[in-house]
Amino acid sequence: MISSRYVAIKSDGKELLLTIEIDVPEVDPTLEAGDYRCKFSVSAMGINEYIYGVDAIQSYCMALKRLKNFFNGFISEGWKFYFPGYLDMEVDIISTYF
């Protein structure tokens, strides 16, 4: 599993500590077809879901796409991102990772 932590702050001062986790792709045990899945979690938002693909790479790439869509949703609502302990330096989250 890979994991990252961010502090998200909205213009009204609301603050969230986000721990984002993406698991290693695995064969989907619920299917006989051999498709893969990759778990995507953001505990502060109650997100705990599987992202699916026809192989391990596709499931991982789709999880990254889900992560980008997650951040884009926050950005469109006016949130800014920081690493914990460095609230004086905003992270351009989209440019940094995508």
pLDDT tens for 11-27 read 999 999 999 999 999 99
User: Is the pLDDT score of 1 beyond 90?
Assistant: no
Tell me the pLDDT band of 30, cut-offs 50, 70 and 90.
confident
How far is residue 39's CA from residue 54's CA, in Å, rounded to a whole number? 15
How far is residue 82's CA from residue 47's CA, in Å, rounded to a whole number? 20
How far is residue 44's CA from residue 25's CA, in Å, rounded to a whole number? 22
How far is residue 5's CA from residue 21's CA, in Å, rounded to a whole number? 9
Token pair of 32, please?
């006989």
Residue whose pair of structure tokens reads 């990254």 in the numeric block: 64
User: Is the pLDDT score of 29 beyond 80?
Assistant: yes
Predicted TM-score (pTM) of the model is 0.83
pLDDT tens digit string along 33-89?
789 999 999 989 899 999 999 999 999 999 999 999 999 999 999 999 999 999 999
Q: What's the confidence (pLDDT) of residue 91?
A: 94
